[in-house]
Amino acid sequence: MKSQVKVPIPVRYLVKLGVELVLFGCALFLYTISEDWVDTMGKLGPGLHILLRFAMFLFGLSLLVRILAMIYRQRKHLPYRKKDNVTLGLSNISILIVTVYAVISSFELIGLSPKDIFTSLSIVAAAFAILSKDFITDIISGIVISFSKEISIDDFVKVGDLRGKIIDINITKTALLNEDDDIIFLPNSTVFRGDIINYTKKQIKKTNIDFEVPTGSFSSVDDLEASLIKSLSEYHHLIEPNSYLLRVVSIKKDFIQFKFQYNLIQFTREMERQIKRKCIRSVVKIIYQGKPK
Contact yes or no for 176/162 (Cβ under 8 A): yes
pLDDT of residue 57: 92
How much of the chain, in percent, has pLDDT values that exceed 90? 8
State the pLDDT confidence band at 137, using cuts at 50, 70 and 90: confident
**2 pLDDT above the threshold of 80:** no
pTM of the shown model: 0.58
Answer with the residue of higher pLDDT: 263 or 15.
Answer: 15
**293 pLDDT above the threshold of 50:** no
**Three-state SS letters, 245-283:** EEEEEEECCCEEEEEEEEEECCCCHHHHHHHHHHHHHHH
Q: What is the CATH number of domain 156-198?
A: 2.30.30.60
Q: Name the CATH superfamily, with its identifier, for domain 205-289.
A: Ferrodoxin-fold anticodon-binding domain (3.30.70.380)
Answer with the residue of higher pLDDT: 117 or 156.
Answer: 156
pLDDT of residue 117: 60
Least confident window among 38-42, 132-136, 201-205: 201-205
State the pLDDT confidence band at 172, using cuts at 50, 70 and 90: confident
Least confident window among 115-119, 204-208, 220-224: 115-119
